[in-house]
Amino acid sequence: MTTTTVQIRRKGVITLPAELRRQYGLDEGDLFTLVDLGDGSFLLTPQVSQVARLGNQVSKLMAEEGVTVEEMLEALDRERESYYREHYVQT
C-alpha cells in the first residue's frame, strides 16, 4: 500500500496523480463512491462502467482503423443475417 498527498482545490476538486490514473485506467468523467468512515477518514472507490469503458475502446479502435459507424452497423447486419440463416432457416 502506498500513500499519496493530494490537495483540495477550488470547488472541492481533488486531482489524482497521473500514475494512479494510468495504473487503474481512470479517465475524466469516471464516477467514484466516497464513504465517510466516521473518524475523518474517507474511502474513495471507482464505479467502473464496463459498458462505457468498452465503448470508448471500440471508438478508439474504429478511429484507428478508419471504420465509420455506418460501416460497422452494415457489417453487424450482415453477420446477423448470416447467423439467422445458419441457425434458423431450414433447407
pLDDT of 90 reads: 82
Q: What is the DSSP letter of 43?
A: E
Grid coordinates belonging to 87: 441457425
Beta bridge partners of residue 29, listed in sequence order: none
Residue with cell 474504429: 62
Could you read off the pLDDT of 8-58 as tens digits, one per residue?
999 999 999 999 999 988 888 888 999 999 999 999 998 877 787 788 889
Vertex 17: Cα angle to 14 and 19 (nearest 5)? 155
- How many whole angstroms separate alpha carbon 91 and alpha carbon 88? 10
